[in-house]
Structure 1
């Protein structure tokens, strides 16, 4: 039997142990639950994580010219209260920062604790700033996106935001490839705040992939200059010029107006960021006539020996459709040379609406081309069951349908390359930082639309459009050129045509007999003259001459 003394001691020790254990539990509760954030922050303060931003990949033209890259720049700032002599400081800094001396003096004299003197200063100026030794003036290094050819190609390349993400153009479409992968470095500090070398862990950033485009920067320069002059001369609202290789589908140049400068995109309205080569839809007018003629020849509903009579107008379902003039008796090729509405409607009626629709669809009208540019429109080409009785007379002359400028050039290129619809190509390949090809994008045929024989026949007629017909102003001495003029009426909000509002266009291919270049010029609502042969064809001529010479 246990003595009472032992029981009392055991009870006392148990009570003491329970009390001590309760104290420990309470202390743990206090530390881990009530004040855990304090100790967590204390621990975290010993660890440092620095983000290492990845460089975006570069963008090159087809010849290796850099179109976009990351560069290191300086943001120079000052603490005015720490600048002893603002006038002297401004005199030293003005030539280094390429800023007005008086403006700098005003900033350095401001009653503020912090002012930015200039952002985007070349990193090479850093050494000169160090040598100048201006008290109260400091700078930080940062990475900026640089476009060496800007404002050229702004609508194609697009731009990046402050978070270094692509917001427009190719920068947006290929952002995941171009952006790369950010890295980081972590390390622990001791009680004195010094870095503990053995705790450093480095995860280096991975630079983004590079894009190699089909664009030729030299041709792009020619095109943008020509378009600017055309816009000034004609006072058009919008304008587009595209240059391609009809055989491969390569886009060699693409210009859109109005445009912007992607170095200062914030200074322009968002409407100016639009790329009208793929965002604008137009009625193609007479530029669609070669496609109608090719379909009819392919289906053998017409022959080269067929003749047509143009009295100056024809009736389709009690609606009078006029021609520019009465052409009289015409051969089949004259229908294209004279851009005769009466003749081409007769050809379309022989073909029938089902086949006409099938071929126009085959040429890619009414569907997106698949070019990697944001916001591409698909256009409009209604199915035959939705046509009106007038449609068989309207569609062959480029009405009751909408196309983008790029769609139109791609479709007509099928005539120039022997009857094959080619997918437009803007990116040739993707490479890594060492130049190794990661992915290639070869020329991509979509489908054969007409035979080589048919395509050659129509191309020869298009050559006569330039030598004898409505496209004479597109001629380049010493070179054979095939082309087609177009003047499309512009519909208003209610669907009715707006008096005096036209789309003027010209599409041409050269040098024949084996064209290596296709050029499309589109001007929206030119003032004064508006026929495509009068105002768009000369722009084509200017571009073609500069490419050829």
Structure 2
């Protein structure tokens, strides 16, 4: 009896043994075969470490070497969910450090994904807090965050970069390839304690992006943005643009557009505010084109100095009466420009004819890209004569039936200030590596001669009298010779007709005459109340000039300018 009981017990123990053994074999099979890859991946993730090494993005600097855009160090924190043992506890510790919601952080820790970002580009000092009580499965990479020290100034020129450090707007976008360096990496093996195994490190250094030196002068940019903001506040304008250039070289010294945004916090603004109106706004330039019409007629010998024209307050063009602001009576060529007379300008254009008028406007750069390198740039519109109506010969010479951008208009009229030579607009001076070696240089580039020197000088002197005696008096500064032209263009409504209370108010001017080294265009969009360019845009020009005079050291009437 006892022996039989012993056999039963022995058989039971053997069965238990084989069950345990079978379970062990089964678990080994599961661990080694079924889940082997997963555990090998976990082991390798603990044993081997590979980190991408992001390159620093190149700096953007102004013409004097002042930094306008640079990188600051940051970290981006991520997790490997399967390695986090207690998601709830880990979330309670990590979320406050990163400023995250605890519940959402726990959900990320419980994710079935192999990799989840927790927060990108957080301040570098948080690395110390994360290291104090390290949690297995939570890692971080060093990254760079773009910083603009003078923001919101220059936002439309510089643009911004996205979370992956790729340029999305402005020069950051169009020059992204040169600004972005080459990625590096680092790999090493760790022992059971997590320490790096000596000799296992493999390191490829990242290559920093190139630096970009602009033609922009940060100080002049400050004056421009301040004056534009004050003008918009005073006139209640919808928006506006101011551009400053050097007519001799085509250098863009300042460029401001409103509405504005802050590129350090671009996500807080609507995409519409990112738009750079200086290169993308299309508008009818109004009377600011008249110096080009005058230069064309003089160059073609269709008019001569001393000749006079009669303005009775209106003129018939085909079957349509074009009205002027008033009857100017008998006028010389100078008077036509000084008074911004539509009737006299149309009479001159009729002598030129459609083909000649079109050819010269194209030579002045109307309807042609300025190739500034800024995204969103428009080319404007100047229809060929075969597409003109019978009224076009009366509309185009007074700045209607054509569309220009602000930068295009400034470049075109600047050819008169540059003694007849049209220059390519230049925004980038050179590209250098981190050691200062020049990789690419952009030199001033003449496009072609539009009119000869004598013609350009005559028209520039007429524009000086516009400021001294005519519609541009509010741009005058005692002791300095300034040439300019006012413009007031009606906006076209949704019905395709000109509105009666919406205008573009503009002033374009150059100084010091007779050899200008500064050109300035001011455009205000839909100012309330006064709307004539001579009344509201010319004073903005004057304020900017007064600041530049002090900054650039322009001493007095006809005095030489210090080297700039």
Asked if these proteins are the same fold (TM beyond 0.5), I'd say yes
1:79-478 equivalences under 5 Å are 81=92, 123=124, 142-189=143-190, 194-478=195-479
Contact 1:473 1:534 survives alignment (8 Å): yes
1:528-547 equivalences under 5 Å are 528-547=529-548
Structure 2 length as normaliser, TM-score? 0.81
Displacement of 1:113: 6.5
Contact 2:54 2:143 survives alignment (8 Å): no
Displacement of 1:494: 2.9
Q: Is 1:507 matched up with 2:520? A: no
| Counterpart for residue 63 of structure 1 | 64
Contact 1:506 1:522 survives alignment (8 Å): yes
Contact 1:154 1:261 survives alignment (8 Å): yes
Contact 2:246 2:253 survives alignment (8 Å): yes
> C-alpha distance in 2, partners of 1:530/1:112?
54
> C-alpha distance in 2, partners of 1:263/1:195?
38
Displacement of 1:509: 0.1
> C-alpha distance in 1, partners of 2:394/2:354?
10
Contact 2:366 2:412 survives alignment (8 Å): yes
Task: Give secondary structure in 1 for the equivalent of 2:306.
Answer: coil
Displacement of 1:48: 2.9
> C-alpha distance in 2, partners of 1:261/1:39?
48
Contact 2:366 2:380 survives alignment (8 Å): yes
Displacement of 1:367: 1.2
> C-alpha distance in 1, partners of 2:39/2:121?
42
Contact 1:151 1:260 survives alignment (8 Å): yes
Contact 1:366 1:380 survives alignment (8 Å): yes
| Counterpart for residue 522 of structure 2 | 521
1:177-214 deviation per Cα after TM superposition (whole angstroms, max 9, x unaligned): 11111100123445665533333221110000000000
Contact 1:61 1:67 survives alignment (8 Å): yes
Q: Show structure 1 runs of 5+ residues with no match.
A: 1-31, 84-89, 98-103
1:453-473 deviation per Cα after TM superposition (whole angstroms, max 9, x unaligned): 110000000000000000000
1:4-15 equivalences under 5 Å are none
Task: Give secondary structure in 2 for the equivalent of 1:162.
Answer: coil
Task: Give secondary structure in 1 for the equivalent of 2:212.
Answer: strand
Count of aligned residue pairs for this structure pair: 495
> C-alpha distance in 2, partners of 1:113/1:37?
27
Relative to 1, partners in 2 of residues 1:480 and 1:124: Cα closer, same or farther, differing over 3 Å?
Answer: farther
> C-alpha distance in 2, partners of 1:49/1:135?
18
> C-alpha distance in 2, partners of 1:418/1:139?
63
> C-alpha distance in 2, partners of 1:278/1:339?
26
> C-alpha distance in 2, partners of 1:42/1:126?
24
Displacement of 1:528: 0.7
Q: Is 1:50 matched up with 2:51? A: yes
| Counterpart for residue 112 of structure 2 | none
What CA RMSD, in Å, does the superposition of the two structures yield over aligned residues?
3.2
Q: Show structure 2 runs of 5+ residues with no match.
A: 1-31, 79-88, 109-118, 551-564
Relative to 1, partners in 2 of residues 1:183 and 1:454: Cα closer, same or farther, differing over 3 Å?
Answer: same
Contact 2:240 2:525 survives alignment (8 Å): yes
> C-alpha distance in 1, partners of 2:365/2:336?
23
1:255-277 deviation per Cα after TM superposition (whole angstroms, max 9, x unaligned): 00001000110010000000000
> C-alpha distance in 2, partners of 1:42/1:519?
64
Relative to 1, partners in 2 of residues 1:453 and 1:170: Cα closer, same or farther, differing over 3 Å?
Answer: same
> C-alpha distance in 2, partners of 1:377/1:274?
12
Contact 2:120 2:163 survives alignment (8 Å): no
> C-alpha distance in 1, partners of 2:346/2:326?
15
Contact 1:429 1:440 survives alignment (8 Å): yes
Displacement of 1:442: 0.4
Contact 1:74 1:139 survives alignment (8 Å): no
Contact 1:305 1:332 survives alignment (8 Å): yes
> C-alpha distance in 2, partners of 1:72/1:322?
63
1:221-244 deviation per Cα after TM superposition (whole angstroms, max 9, x unaligned): 000000001111111111000000
Displacement of 1:37: 4.8
> C-alpha distance in 2, partners of 1:59/1:265?
18
Structure 1 length as normaliser, TM-score? 0.84
Displacement of 1:152: 0.4
> C-alpha distance in 2, partners of 1:194/1:75?
22
1:47-89 deviation per Cα after TM superposition (whole angstroms, max 9, x unaligned): 4321001100000000111000001247899978559xxxxxx
